[in-house]
A and B are shown apart, each in its own frame.
Chain A
């Protein structure tokens, strides 16, 4: 399409100028569709517009990039009303303007990162498969085609990749189990039910570089001997659903999916299924139930989904980011990936920084960066200008960390040692106006709303926990009720069937441990001040 007018980053003389306007949902939320319409109306034939993914610098969205002889030049945040002025100032030649940001890859927030899994997000046209190839797409798959399933699995094991959905289970070991299982049919299931508050990595890559997920799942299929895959995307992500569906059609027409993947003689095909607003379906067995058309009720394990998963067949269930990391590993080798990271957490983590923070966005870095570096150096503190009180790490089942713990490095084991979890890599920042007792109440409320209801500790515990927190907040029998909460947390942790009930105590307990002052009655708090 627009590649006909301009090559990679350099403008061809006299052709229309290539302009990138993100179509990522967060960019749209900031007004990028309005900017695109204004640009198309004002510049007409002078530009060839590409709707790219977002670079993940969300305070700069909508970030418009213009291809000039000196490379891509970014402007942002651009409002529709800025378009006339930008054009008049010579934006299409990369001219100076108060909104001019220079070369996007030189913006410190991006320059400091290690973009492996997200190497193409924000750069390519998400639905141009030729553009995907031009940026290294399908090289990993081509390498995998020449290898045995065992060799592919071995590469992934050697890379040290662990499940990025939250559990951190080694991907290669999961694949080995599926590969060794004997069955007439096996499946690859991508868990794109990214429900954790503060996370958007799955959404961004599906909207910004959908072919990398297709490639990763195809490699997984070759590795374990599966010919069919499902991507289960939450319905809260309508844009990701549309982009993935179109990308699959394009990949089929191209021959990258179908009866003979890239002409190799082996088959792999994909389907998108949409969730229906149930957080619990991010739990893998509940997701499988939902895919099969039933209530998203958790299954007891064993049997492991790797042996009896979708429709009772061996199934590899992996998170979006895990699968999207595989093509890079298969392109550059396991060692190159494992060279990043620390301890038993190898490679890169895609941290998502959001909430009350000045510079929120996607930060891909080798494991080992500290929480403080993320919140303070990248995030620049709160947008309200007030002191940071807490950062919630790892979604609604993760811990609230106080400043004292900001020296914790992002590493599965280091976070666990501090009573928290890396989870899917979400970090939500709160200023000092947050009431941690209310956040503890909300943790129970969320579990109450989203529990599948199968096991008692989660189904009843969440409701009793919310009620008891309400009593504490109202100042009734605080000591006794806090003891009850402690007791309830033990029951939920030890007795729940899955992580929903099992980890709801994590935010609750972390709030109680690190912010005890928020759990004393209001009048006592006032008296103390």
Chain B
């Protein structure tokens, strides 16, 4: 279970400085920030631009292009639910709807208690064990509407 640090621009800037000399480091920096803080505050854009000698527009463009770099903190646990064809063929839609109903959230939503965020993902490579999800980094397959409670319990634990 990841526990994210509170966003701190000074600490985040240290990450940028440490990796600034790597070739094409932008994504690597964002990944490191996302792993540590759970998201990438847009306030980092001018810092990265300055350190990597890029325009702020380019850094902002890169940051916002990718699905992985959120602009706000996620819940304590993120469930990534596969929406792609193999999972569809085995009832993924019904599973995600049941999950939404039980958690009271939709795609990209976080439960009121800050425990769980639900995000869509297109294929986890678990297509013979569909429908599948990642609970943080732990894969879980062969989900059914009847086992959604177990999934939520796993995510809350």
Interface residue? B139 (CB, 8 A): yes
B110-129 contact mask (Cβ, 8 Å, vs A): 1 or 0: 00000000000111111111
Interface residue? B5 (CB, 8 A): no
Interface residue? B25 (CB, 8 A): yes
Q: How many residues of B contact A (CB 8 A)?
A: 43
With A25-B139, A59-B128, A439-B85 known as contacts, the answer to whether A291 contacts B122 (CB < 8 A) is no
With A197-B84, A199-B123, A294-B26 known as contacts, the answer to whether A354 contacts B128 (CB < 8 A) is yes
A434 & B66 in contact (Cβ 8 Å cutoff): no
What is the distance, in angstroms, from A296's C-beta to the closest C-beta of chain B?
6
Interface residue? B23 (CB, 8 A): yes
- Please tell me which one of the listed residues B28, B86, B125, B138 contacts residue A273 in the complex, with CB atoms under 8 A apart: B28
What is the distance, in angstroms, from B136's C-beta to the closest C-beta of chain A?
9
B130 & A354 in contact (Cβ 8 Å cutoff): yes
Interface residue? A356 (CB, 8 A): yes
Interface residue? A182 (CB, 8 A): no
B122 & A431 in contact (Cβ 8 Å cutoff): no
Cα A434 to Cα B87 in complex, Å, equals 12
Q: How many residues of A contact B (CB 8 A)?
A: 63
Cα A428 to Cα B87 in complex, Å, equals 9
Interface residue? B45 (CB, 8 A): no
B68 & A203 in contact (Cβ 8 Å cutoff): no
Q: Which one of B9-17, B57-65, B98-106 contacts A?
A: B57-65
With A25-B139, A29-B141 known as contacts, the answer to whether A392 contacts B125 (CB < 8 A) is no
Cα A40 to Cα B137 in complex, Å, equals 22
Interface residue? B88 (CB, 8 A): yes
B128 & A199 in contact (Cβ 8 Å cutoff): no
A277 & B125 in contact (Cβ 8 Å cutoff): no
B24 & A194 in contact (Cβ 8 Å cutoff): no
Interface residue? B39 (CB, 8 A): no
Interface residue? B30 (CB, 8 A): yes
Q: Which one of A91-99, A234-242, A463-471 contacts B?
A: A234-242
Cα A196 to Cα B90 in complex, Å, equals 17
What is the distance, in angstroms, from B56's C-beta to the closest C-beta of chain A?
14
- Please tell me which one of the listed residues B27, B89, B122, B124 contacts residue A428 in the complex, with CB atoms under 8 A apart: B89
A28 & B90 in contact (Cβ 8 Å cutoff): no
A295 & B62 in contact (Cβ 8 Å cutoff): yes
B137 & A199 in contact (Cβ 8 Å cutoff): no
Interface residue? B37 (CB, 8 A): no
Interface residue? A278 (CB, 8 A): yes
List of B residues within 8 angstroms of A434 by Cβ = 89
Cα A452 to Cα B67 in complex, Å, equals 12
Cα A275 to Cα B62 in complex, Å, equals 12
B69 & A357 in contact (Cβ 8 Å cutoff): no
- Please tell me which one of the listed residues B65, B86, B130, B140 contacts residue A278 in the complex, with CB atoms under 8 A apart: B65
B125 & A357 in contact (Cβ 8 Å cutoff): no
What is the distance, in angstroms, from A76's C-beta to the closest C-beta of chain B?
13
B127 & A360 in contact (Cβ 8 Å cutoff): yes
Cα A20 to Cα B154 in complex, Å, equals 26
Find the B residue at minimum CB distance from A391. B89
Find the A residue at minimum CB distance from B25. A293
What is the distance, in angstroms, from B47's C-beta to the closest C-beta of chain A?
15
Cα A407 to Cα B141 in complex, Å, equals 31
Interface residue? B31 (CB, 8 A): yes
With A26-B125, A26-B139, A276-B67 known as contacts, the answer to whether A198 contacts B86 (CB < 8 A) is yes
- Please tell me which one of the listed residues A25, A276, A291 contacts residue B69 in the complex, with CB atoms under 8 A apart: A276
A360 & B123 in contact (Cβ 8 Å cutoff): no
List of A residues within 8 angstroms of B23 by Cβ = 292, 311
With A294-B26, A392-B85 known as contacts, the answer to whether A276 contacts B127 (CB < 8 A) is no
B129 & A30 in contact (Cβ 8 Å cutoff): yes
List of B residues within 8 angstroms of A30 by Cβ = 129, 141-142
Which residues of chain A from 192 to 247 have any CB-CB distance to chain B below 8 Å in the complex? 194-200, 202-204, 235-239
B125 & A429 in contact (Cβ 8 Å cutoff): no
Cα A434 to Cα B61 in complex, Å, equals 38
List of A residues within 8 angstroms of B148 by Cβ = none
B69-85 contact mask (Cβ, 8 Å, vs A): 1 or 0: 10000000000100011
Cα A238 to Cα B78 in complex, Å, equals 14
B25 & A355 in contact (Cβ 8 Å cutoff): no
Cα A294 to Cα B128 in complex, Å, equals 34
Cα A276 to Cα B70 in complex, Å, equals 11
Cα A279 to Cα B48 in complex, Å, equals 25
- Please tell me which one of the listed residues B26, B66, B140 contacts residue A277 in the complex, with CB atoms under 8 A apart: B66
Interface residue? B134 (CB, 8 A): yes
- Please tell me which one of the listed residues A203, A235, A430 contacts residue B89 in the complex, with CB atoms under 8 A apart: A430
What is the distance, in angstroms, from A234's C-beta to the closest C-beta of chain B?
9
With A235-B68, A278-B67, A295-B65 known as contacts, the answer to whether A426 contacts B89 (CB < 8 A) is no
Seed contacts A194-B123, A278-B67, A439-B88; 14 additional CB < 8 Å A-B pairs: A25-B125, A25-B139, A30-B129, A33-B138, A197-B127, A198-B84, A235-B31, A274-B31, A276-B67, A292-B23, A354-B130, A356-B89, A357-B128, A430-B89
A-B contact pairs, 6 of them (CB 8 A): A203-B125, A277-B67, A278-B67, A293-B52, A426-B86, A446-B84
Interface residue ranges, A against B (CB under 8 Å): 25-26, 28-30, 33, 58-59, 61, 194-200, 202-204, 235-239, 273-279, 290-297, 311, 352-357, 360-361, 383, 392, 396, 426, 428-431, 434, 439, 442, 446, 449-450, 452
